[in-house]
Structure 1
């Protein structure tokens, strides 16, 4: 277990200990929107506060707030006055700046039965759903398409941020709520912070320099959008040696984290929409900037980042200069329209993903599930099923270092790199991974190791103890290595039943240098070179240089194809 994991585990344990301590030491405050009074001081269900804001205002460190089923808004609507001979003036517009601000040392729990139930203290977050809604006037309508978000007028009067955890630590706890109806769109009027990214981010929850603990919450149908690039937004405090990072103008429709380390356990992020219009947008579920959040046992489903043109990354999550730890999380049916990272987009970040599942995520250009651009990414025990993109149906690695251990790729598809696309600027380590029935229309049914005129001489690709079965492409049914790729080693791998409609059923090499050791090729099929095919990079006249040792080939007379001027050295192979 890494020190990072240990630290996060200790944080979670301390939070639960603190919850027990505060409950015992502090007071319990009750909230129920069905409270009838006449006294509202929150000391019991009988005289519960009617509004959650009142309870938060009365709470101090050590207190626990129990909230009954119902709908609660940061700024409750002003009731319409009764008819009068002279019509009264209309009620004031809702305060869009209103938010539920969490407090250190205060535990806020939803899902209680409340007044009118036989056991008001009974708690079931599904049966007694407790909703925190940004729909301040109660007039939101459902939209069927992500494109409808940016022009839906009923959203324009909703809270910028339903919940705020800014300035808190892990003792500020929120548990058992549904957070919905937040709308962070364009700059806040009459605000000294006008133009800051905060007013186009974090519609469900905003954590700016905050590290709250969020348990068993659902973030549903929150939206962020802007029709233009926000000027003067904060680029964050990046280290001097960091590559310049272009941050999104709108991000984190469900949750936005900046300069913090919040914890999310057993949470659901679904149907949140980040609409950039003509501006760069990213991370409809969660956006992290300079942050190190822990997400455990969370589900990201049907989140969308989109707009009019391009530059919409990370359907479910976007990370910038961040180090998130994700454990046992699922990403299903997320979408990055036109751009990168259908589920997760990483830029100059160091994410750790353990036992995560990616299914049916899509992006318009690169990384149907995951896009890596700089930093060090580590994935262990993750599965990628039925994801799709143009480059890298499962994952696309642009630059940086990516280490994948015991991961499984099945039925992913792309134009190049059906499961995985690796660009020329990165280092890639694969160990114990399986690639089954992935498909590419062009190069690399399972893996495309691309290259270019210039390849970083320090880049290293090591593929060890992996299995490639029933993958298909035009060139390189199992793997395509090309464009002057260097420092490529494939060891202890099995290639079986892969197919190329043209050449290289198992592997196709195009002007690259590769070491094959202790590998087995059996039952692969291609028009030319059932097991292997090698060609030169014609415009540079750079031949493929292939060194084969201790390998087994069971593909008959058409097993290996070497074009003119390619270099193949075979030792101790059958």
Structure 2
């Protein structure tokens, strides 16, 4: 082959590769205020008016930018039509509709530019003719992203025996391939006022591995899983592992008539290993509506039958949730095996009609074991923990604060290690206002933050800890504090004098007088705000160093 022919062949291959790559990176624009339906969708000026048009034109690798406005799955009354997201397509909302091509999507203002996906397709505000699902994904990879939308008013109430149309009114995700679970990533979404018999906002079935980040679920309802239901059983066969990770998300005012006010995991014959991190569960309810049914798990419920379930809960808050049993949590293993590991979590004023304000634990011909570490159990009455079939269920507490005088009062079947603090006083900043003055949960003025005199400060264990900050992102100082929130000051039991303050910043909180004597080489020390520093006569600063007192995060 001569050199010219060889060079020409190489150039042809390169051009083909560029062409394929360019095609795989197409970005489509959607704008509810577009002038007509004739645009090609390749710019804001020629944007598609319909999100469905953009989805039908997209293929793997493409992305869709959706401007503020309200979008419906269909313009007619067909309730079965949903926004079906193709595999490996990224769909982003929250745009003004004027952004440049190079715009950084992390700068979107979701409160100003609301991209709303609504199931209210029929008569306005009449639920019975709304879409069964607003979004549907099937056998999609983790390259499939849905980011920046308000998803509301789906209504999955079909009386048909087909599970599809009575579950997951906001989003229905199904994975039928054992080798590759359906694994969409959901970010910056608000699911509100959705209803489904199973999974009011989201339903996952069979083999799934969903990731949920920075999402809000409020006022959704169902029979099981007011906000979310995860299920992995098909025809009584083991289908593989269902893995769900939910982080930095909020669940408020969701409700069910059976199990799992916010989330219900039905592990069935398969295996599931959900992870909940930095999440808020507030005022979710599993409300009794039928005398023959005992609702379980005001916030989260897990049922494991013949399979294995392992749930991890870190850095989370469960407040004012309610159920018949298990005001916050319910773990039920029927011929299966369940283990729960709960760390740095605060339980506050959850309630149960019968027992188990914090959790109910049941191992019927199976086993259910819970390990609670670095947690605050601040409940109004006891017992906080209910065990059914004690031989098969157990709960172990360590490095935790409880408001009882002994372990037995927490509930039979509970073991408390000697690191448990009984009759503890977490000393929250303002437990009467858990949202804080800004009325937003998850900010630095939250009412369940620890005061500077709390005995929870520095009393946690960092052994096997895989995270280094608290529920709102504050770094752990020295040993972690007990509970979901880290006080910005570290605690010193007694501090009389510091002869030589080190070169490094050291955060301190103490009610003692701080006395600095002798030579100070480089004085930089945090001290509890409102106290004072006494420098003994005769102290001096040498070597060109200076003595500074700096106020930072409530510490001096």
Shorter chain as normaliser: what TM range?
Answer: 0.5 to 0.7
Q: Distance in 1 between matches of 2:73 and 2:102?
A: 24
Change (3 A) 1:24 1:60: closer
Root mean square deviation of aligned Cα: 2.7
Change (3 A) 1:159 1:38: closer
Q: Does the alignment pair 1:67 with 2:33?
A: no
Q: State which of 285, 301, 312 in structure 1 corresponds to 2:252.
A: 301
Q: Distance in 1 between matches of 2:253 and 2:102?
A: 34
TM-superposed deviation, 1:379: 1.2
Change (3 A) 1:196 1:425: farther
Q: Does the alignment pair 1:367 with 2:326?
A: yes
Q: Is the 8 A contact 1:112 1:120 kept in 2?
A: no
Q: Does the alignment pair 1:398 with 2:397?
A: no
TM-superposed deviation, 1:127: 1.2
Q: 1:130-162 deviations in whole A, cap 9, x for unaligned?
A: 00011113601xxxxxxxxxxxxx111111110
Q: Is the 8 A contact 2:68 2:95 kept in 1?
A: yes
- Residue 243 of structure 1: aligned partner: none
Q: Distance in 2 between matches of 1:296 and 1:319?
A: 16
- Residue 296 of structure 2: aligned partner: 340
Q: State which of 168, 174, 187 in structure 2 corresponds to 1:208.
A: 174
Question: What pairs up with 1:522-541 in 2 under 5 angstroms?
Answer: none
Q: Does the alignment pair 1:330 with 2:280?
A: yes
Q: Does the alignment pair 1:355 with 2:315?
A: yes
Q: Is the 8 A contact 1:283 1:316 kept in 2?
A: yes
- Residue 216 of structure 2: aligned partner: 268
TM-superposed deviation, 1:169: 1.6
Q: 1:294-341 deviations in whole A, cap 9, x for unaligned?
A: 1111111110112xxxxx111000111132111111111100002110
Q: Distance in 2 between matches of 1:36 and 1:438?
A: 66
Q: Distance in 1 between matches of 2:408 and 2:322?
A: 18
Q: Distance in 2 between matches of 1:353 and 1:470?
A: 22
Q: Distance in 2 between matches of 1:162 and 1:38?
A: 22
- Residue 113 of structure 2: aligned partner: 128
Q: Distance in 1 between matches of 2:247 and 2:297?
A: 20
TM-score w.r.t. length of structure 1 = 0.60
Q: Is the 8 A contact 1:410 1:438 kept in 2?
A: no
TM-superposed deviation, 1:23: 9.4
Q: Is the 8 A contact 1:293 1:323 kept in 2?
A: yes
Q: State which of 251, 255, 266 in structure 1 corresponds to 2:202.
A: 255
**Secondary structure of the structure 1 residue equivalent to 2:411:** strand
- Residue 149 of structure 2: aligned partner: 177
- Residue 317 of structure 1: aligned partner: 263
- Residue 515 of structure 2: aligned partner: none
Q: Mark the runs of 5 or more structure 1 residues left unpaired by the alignment.
A: 1-20, 78-93, 141-153, 188-193, 225-249, 275-280, 307-311, 451-459, 472-493, 495-574
- Residue 190 of structure 2: aligned partner: 218
Q: 1:217-237 deviations in whole A, cap 9, x for unaligned?
A: 11111012xxxxxxxxxxxxx
Q: Distance in 1 between matches of 2:21 and 2:147?
A: 15
Q: 1:242-277 deviations in whole A, cap 9, x for unaligned?
A: xxxxxxxx2100100112111111111111011xxx
Q: Distance in 2 between matches of 1:199 and 1:380?
A: 37
**Secondary structure of the structure 1 residue equivalent to 2:332:** strand
- Residue 376 of structure 2: aligned partner: 409
Q: Mark the runs of 5 or more structure 2 residues left unpaired by the alignment.
A: 1-19, 176-181, 233-241, 289-294, 426-454, 456-556
Change (3 A) 1:106 1:356: same
Q: Is the 8 A contact 2:200 2:225 kept in 1?
A: yes
Q: 1:32-87 deviations in whole A, cap 9, x for unaligned?
A: 0100037321011111000100000001111110000000010024xxxxxxxxxx
Question: What pairs up with 1:482-501 in 2 under 5 angstroms?
Answer: none
TM-superposed deviation, 1:25: 5.2
Q: Does the alignment pair 1:37 with 2:2?
A: no
Q: Does the alignment pair 1:388 with 2:336?
A: no
Q: 1:513-561 deviations in whole A, cap 9, x for unaligned?
A: xxxxxxxxxxxxxxxxxxxxxxxxxxxxxxxxxxxxxxxxxxxxxxxxx
- Residue 107 of structure 1: aligned partner: 90
Q: Distance in 2 between matches of 1:368 and 1:265?
A: 25
**Secondary structure of the structure 2 residue equivalent to 1:353:** strand
TM-superposed deviation, 1:166: 1.9
Change (3 A) 1:38 1:50: closer
Change (3 A) 1:138 1:43: farther
Change (3 A) 1:470 1:61: closer
**Secondary structure of the structure 1 residue equivalent to 2:355:** coil
Q: Distance in 2 between matches of 1:422 and 1:22?
A: 58
Q: Distance in 1 between matches of 2:310 and 2:164?
A: 23
Change (3 A) 1:217 1:439: farther
Q: Distance in 1 between matches of 2:190 and 2:264?
A: 19
Q: Count the aligned residue pairs.
A: 365
Change (3 A) 1:361 1:38: closer
